[in-house]
Amino acid sequence: MERWDSEKELDALFASYKSAVPDPDASANFMPELWGRIDARRSVTLRVRKLTQVFVGAAAALCLLFAMIEVVPTSTHPEVHGTYVDMLAATHPADNLTALGIAPHDPAEPTTK
Amino acid sequence: MLVEFEQIQKAQAGDDAAFNQVVAAYRKRILGTIARLIGRPEDVEDVGQEVFLRLYYSLDQLRTPEVFEPWLYRLTVNASYDYLRKQRRRSESRMSDLSEQQVMMADAVAGGKISTEDQRQKQVKELVESLLGSVSEQDRILLTLKEVEGLSLKELEKIYSVNENALKVRLFRARQRVLSAFEATKGGAKPGRRKEKKYGAMG
């Protein structure tokens, strides 16, 4: 019963709280200050966006640069298509290799121990 | 709705005059809600500006007019909650004990012996704010929206994006804590802030 009374009193207290704290009127500075905050955040957003654009641009330029470095040397040697060993064999004929002591392996030649 | 959806659409499109009209339409109501949620008149405008600032920068996410008001309330709840959390960090003791005068007020409310209207209102304000200080910031806000602002469970469901049952349970527990604090106050004790289980953020 006592609990029930307290429930009622609490309801009444909450109800009177709304009239005890009425909706306040905004001051004359409310809107100017609000727009000041909106503009301040807008300028920060713009600055961040500008910085982001600069970083993205720089990253794109770097990517292009690295791509050029990767692509350009291979494109100046169009004959290079094989492995390193193929290239070596192609640029040094067999007699040169023999002269250097690097004889090409001939499977038909008998091996000596 | 206090404004036509066309006004909101214009504001979404970047029409500052339309945004001003939306703010003008809802300002008083939102400031009133904030005043009752945070209980500090000197900071009401600051929190109110934060609400409308968040509104300005999130208007483009609004798709249907039906959700505008619950959504604005949600921004209000979030800004008030952020404020209360900051305040709590600044001063743990702010929402703690009742003064002797407040204890006397509780007795007066219980006994119906109150003098002038202004004094009564001031005392009601102090007592309710002290009682709401006995629950967490989230529960304080939820309870205020339901019991003081008179929002329905359906409206709260839209604001918090949680189901009705979860809200009912949470409201019941919060109310029970406030009720216990109220009864303790009537008995002459001072309602301290309870250490309670932390709930996840709702909404």
pLDDT digits (tens, 9 = 90+) for B33-82: 999 999 888 999 999 999 999 999 999 888 887 789 999 999 999 999 99
Q: Are residues B61 and B110 in the same domain?
A: no
Q: Are B45 and A26 a contacting pair at CB < 8 A? A: yes
| Contact flag B121-A16 (C-beta cutoff 8 Å) | yes
**pLDDT of B111 above 70:** no
Same domain, B132 and B163: yes
| DSSP letter (8 states) at residue B60 | G
Cβ atoms of B95 and B193 within 8 Å: the answer is yes
Q: What is the mean pLDDT of residues A62-78?
A: 77
A54-76 average pLDDT score: 85
> Is B193 exposed, middle or buried, given 0-12, 13-18 or 19+ CB atoms closer than 10 A?
middle
Considering the domain architecture, whether residues B81 and B111 belong to the same structural domain is answered as: no
Band (pLDDT 50/70/90 cuts) for residue B94 is very low
Q: How does residue B83 score in pLDDT terms, banded at 50, 70 and 90?
A: very high
Chain A residue with Cα closest to B39? A21
Q: Is residue B26 part of a domain?
A: yes
Indicate if B67 and B12 belong to the same structural domain: yes
Q: Are residues B9 and B83 in the same domain?
A: yes
Domain residue ranges in chain A: 2-99
Mutate: best of A1, A2, A17, partner B, most B CBs <10 A: A17
Nearest beta carbon to residue B29 from set A2, A23, A27: A23
The residue ranges of DSSP E strands in A1-113, in sequence order, are none
Chain B residues whose beta carbon lies within 8 Å of the beta carbon of residue A7? 179
Contact A24 B44 (CB under 8 A): yes
| pLDDT(B114) > 70 | no
Contacts of A3 in chain B (CB under 8 A): 179, 183
Q: Is the pLDDT of residue B198 over 50?
A: no
Indicate whether B40 belongs to any domain: yes
Q: Look at residues B90, B113, B132 and tell me which one is the last residue of a structural domain.
A: B90
* Complex ipTM > 0.90: no
B25 vs A49, more confident? B25
> Inter-chain contact A13–B121, Cβ cutoff 8 Å?
no
Q: How confident is the model at residue B102 (pLDDT cuts 50, 70, 90)?
A: low
Residue B106 shares a structural domain with residue B159: yes
**Which of A13, A31, A37 faces B20 most closely, judged by CB atoms?**
A31
Q: Residue B138 domain-assigned?
A: yes
DSSP A107: T
Query: CATH no. for residue B117?
Result: 1.10.10.10
Both B53 and B121 in a single domain? no
Does B118 fall in a domain? Answer: yes
Residue B150 has pLDDT above 70, yes or no: yes
B148·A24 Cβ contact <8 A: no
What residue in A sits closest to B21 (Cα-Cα)? A31
Check which CATH number belongs to the domain holding B37 and give it.
1.10.1740.10
Mean pLDDT score of chain B, rounded to an integer? Answer: 83
B173-190 pLDDT tens trace: 999 999 999 988 877 665
Residue in chain A closest to B51 (alpha carbons) equals A34
Mean pLDDT of B136-154: 92
Q: Are B191 and B134 in contact (CB under 8 A)?
A: yes
Q: Which residue of B has its CA nearest to A4?
A: B179
pLDDT at A39: 93
pLDDT reading at A106 higher than 80: no
The token duo for A58 is: 């720089």
* Mean pLDDT, residues B127-153: 91
Cβ contacts of A25 on chain B, cutoff 8 Å:
28, 31
Token digits for B38?
């945070």
B124 contacts A13? CB cut-off 8 A: yes
Helix (H, G, I), strand (E, B) or coil at A110: coil
pLDDT at B122: 86
- Among the residue ranges A28-37, B83-92, B95-104, the one predicted with the least confidence is B95-104
Contacts 24+ apart (CB under 8 A), A59-66: none
Residue B139's domain comprises 100-186
> For residue A17, which residues of chain B lie inside 8 Å, CB to CB?
36, 124-125, 128, 148
pLDDT tens for residues A9-32?
A: 999 999 999 888 989 999 999 999
Q: Is A69 helix (H, G, I), strand (E, B) or coil?
A: helix
